[in-house]
Amino acid sequence: MSAEEKQAALRKMEIVKVDASGASGALDDVVEEAEVALFLNGKRLLSFSCLPRDVEDLAAGFLFSEGISPEPASLALRFDPGRLEVHAEGPADEEAAAAFERGQVLGSGCGAGRSGGDGRRRGCMKIDTTTRVSPAAVWKLMKSLAEGSPVFKATGGTHVAGLGDPAGRIVVMTEDIGRHNAVDKVIGHALRTGLQIGGLLLCCSGRISSDIALKAVRGRIPIVVSRSAPTALSVDIASRFMLTLIGFARSGRMNVYSCPERVMTE
């Protein structure tokens, strides 16, 4: 992220700092938040509450990872402040799209995602890959993720997501106020730039919910890593679709919740 992009994501605001010695006025960096309405083929689908940058990647990643539009390369996107128009030249899953046509705002809440039980898993297949990773590479990826998040460092107000290779190199990363948005942005960026994600690791700063697990499964991403915890449902989904889930990945330790054979411990 350039200095200009970082500055556009922040706003200086007057606050009152309070500590044991008393109160004092100060200026603080606060992360920006915008509501962006997404229109698909002329029809309003939903609104995102998001960090107002990389919005095209957010839309492409969201439509792909929710199974609505399986061909991001065929999307024509036009963004104006507060409004993103998407025209899908390929087939769109009308049933999947209908699940979001209630006008809800997605992104800043902890539970953003589609309801509907097994309907969310339509089109998901077991991940068959030879990708393996060492613990050292996992810790290297998570360190790079933490060090490469300037908006979080300035505000503490974002989630971070990245795609990395099994050697421990981050390929692409981004930030957003919502953990689902951050994941959709890195997936969308990869798909829009032709990056093959099937052999990469998805690295996250936030909780691994069932929604995040399913996004990885649809992208054929074999390993998901987070500094935080998975939910029991995400572990169930990961086991069903042969997705490796790694939680609490911090320097020197991590928990492997599913498909541990992809982690080289010897």
Which residues are identified as catalytic? Answer: 110
C-alpha 208/C-alpha 183 separation (Å) is 11
- Return phi, psi of residue 192, to 5°: -75, -20
Separation CA 177–CA 194 (nearest Å): 26
Q: Name 23's bridge partners.
A: 18
Q: Do residues 260 and 247 lie in contact, with contact meaning Cβ atoms separated by under 8 Å?
A: no
**Helices 55-65 and 179-192, axial angle in degrees (round to 10):** 90
Pick from 217, 248, 249: nearest CA to 233: 217
Other C-beta atoms closer than 10 Å to the C-beta of 234 total 26
Residues in the chain: 266
Phi, psi of 82 (to 5 degrees): 85, -5
Q: Name residues whose C-beta falls within 8 Å of residue 184's C-beta, 6 or more positions apart in sequence.
A: 57, 58, 61, 62, 65, 215
Collect all residues with Cβ–Cβ distance below 8 Å to 265 and sequence separation of at least 6: 135
Write the CA distances from 79 to 34, 46, 49, 52, integer angstroms: 13, 15, 15, 11
Q: What is the CA radius of gyration of the chain?
A: 19
